[in-house]
């Protein structure tokens, strides 16, 4: 055999060995490992099927988007309005002033409000465990600062809620901040659901269970010495005033009375409450008898 023919045969044999080695490598390589000469980032299968997730496969566009809870009182700022410069006594049993400012989108203190429930602003203060609830109405000075005389009775971390309606928007806002109070702290364990509250000689019973994601009617009946109280006086433009907070984050819920206070004197007071999620809620009912306001407290669980 001539030399050129021998060289040609040797070259053909080498090519055949290389092809067999390449095929064997592809067959024996572990899944996901690139064969010799293959780009390690190339995840295309040998048969042409693309095994890598396509753009958008990891997010199903048909999945519904979960909307934010329709609650207020979770932030110090909203829609350009801010609750700031909050000051208060730093310890228990010290007389002082609780003060703050509400600043609008233009950076100036808000001075023009729409009256809601007979007041330009409602201030709610409650400890993070849901105890020590207070509902007061500060005064606004010429400089745009709200203030009220204040004394802490127990130590702890407190949430301060400013509930108001700016005249420029007509939209109710509830902004919040936290105040830390030093002193002896006595933790209060979470209470179980409680539909009856005793306060200042009155017994108040709640009927109704809130349902998550919708408005539910809650009715409170006031009795004293076993007799229905028919001398409830209008308070803040209604037969009673109810504040509802979600346990845990203390989100501030929308609640409004369902009856007309003009001809209402008790013993029952009804409200519509909107609970956005299942879980426990803290309720605080203010009612007025003989010119004095009393607060009954309840705990309930919203069903699905």
Residue 267 in domain: yes
pLDDT greater than 50 at residue 7: no
* Banded pLDDT at 190 (limits 50, 70, 90): confident
Q: Do 200 and 264 sit in the same domain of this protein? A: yes
Q: Do 214 and 131 sit in the same domain of this protein? A: no
Q: Do 145 and 239 sit in the same domain of this protein? A: no
Q: What is the mean pLDDT of the chain?
A: 81
Residue 213 in domain: yes
Confirm if 283 and 271 have CB atoms less than 8 A apart. Answer: no
Residue 20 in domain: yes
Cis amide leading into 267 (omega within 30): yes
CA–CA gap between residue 69 and residue 63 (Å, rounded): 18
Q: Bridge partners of 299?
A: 194, 282
Q: Do 118 and 158 sit in the same domain of this protein? A: yes
CA–CA gap between residue 106 and residue 169 (Å, rounded): 13
pLDDT of residue 70: 61
Residue 191 in domain: no
- Summarised one tens digit per residue, pLDDT across range 243-257 is 999 999 999 998 888
Q: Do 131 and 225 sit in the same domain of this protein? A: no
Number of domains composing the chain: 3
Residue 190 in domain: no
pLDDT of residue 191: 82
CATH number, domain containing residue 200: 2.60.40.10
Q: Do 231 and 200 sit in the same domain of this protein? A: yes
pTM of the predicted structure, to 2 decimals: 0.76
Q: Do 15 and 57 sit in the same domain of this protein? A: yes
Confirm if 255 and 271 have CB atoms less than 8 A apart. Answer: yes
Residues 6+ apart with CB under 8 A from 62: none
Q: Do 158 and 249 sit in the same domain of this protein? A: no
* Banded pLDDT at 283 (limits 50, 70, 90): very high
Residue 245 in domain: yes
Residue 104 in domain: yes
Quote the domain boundaries for residue 51.
Answer: 1-65
pLDDT greater than 70 at residue 22: no
């Amino acid at each position: 055999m001539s030399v050129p023919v021998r060289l040609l045969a040797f070259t053909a044999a080498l090519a055949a060995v290389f092809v067999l080695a390449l095929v064997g490598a592809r067959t024996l390589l572990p899944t996901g490992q690139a064969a010799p000469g293959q780009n390690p980032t190339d995840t295309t299968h040998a048969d042409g099927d693309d095994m890598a997730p396509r753009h958008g496969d990891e997010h199903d566009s048909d999945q519904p988007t979960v909307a934010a809870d329709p609650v207020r009182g979770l932030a110090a700022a909203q829609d350009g309005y801010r609750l700031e410069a909050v000051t208060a006594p730093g310890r228990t049993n010290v007389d002082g002033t609780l003060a703050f400012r509400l600043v609008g989108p233009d950076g100036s203190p808000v001075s023009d409000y729409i009256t809601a429930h007979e007041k330009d602003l409602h201030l709610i203060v409650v400890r993070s465990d849901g105890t020590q609830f207070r509902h007061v109405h500060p005064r606004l000075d010429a400089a745009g600062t709200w203030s009220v005389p204040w004394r802490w009775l127990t130590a702890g971390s407190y949430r301060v809620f400013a509930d108001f309606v700016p005249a420029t928007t007509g939209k109710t806002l509830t902004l919040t901040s936290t105040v830390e109070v030093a002193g002896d702290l006595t933790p209060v364990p979470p209470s179980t659901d409680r539909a009856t509250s005793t306060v200042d000689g009155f017994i108040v019973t709640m009927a109704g269970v809130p349902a998550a994601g919708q408005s539910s009617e809650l009715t409170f009946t006031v009795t004293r010495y076993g007799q229905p109280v028919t001398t409830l006086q209008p308070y803040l433009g209604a037969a009673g005033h109810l504040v509802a907070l979600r346990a845990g984050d203390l989100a501030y819920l929308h609640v409004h009375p369902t009856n007309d206070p003009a001809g209402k004197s008790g013993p029952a007071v009804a409200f519509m409450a909107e609970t956005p999620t299942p879980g426990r809620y803290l309720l605080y009912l203010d009612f007025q008898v003989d010119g004095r306001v009393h607060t009954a407290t309840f705990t309930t669980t919203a069903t699905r």
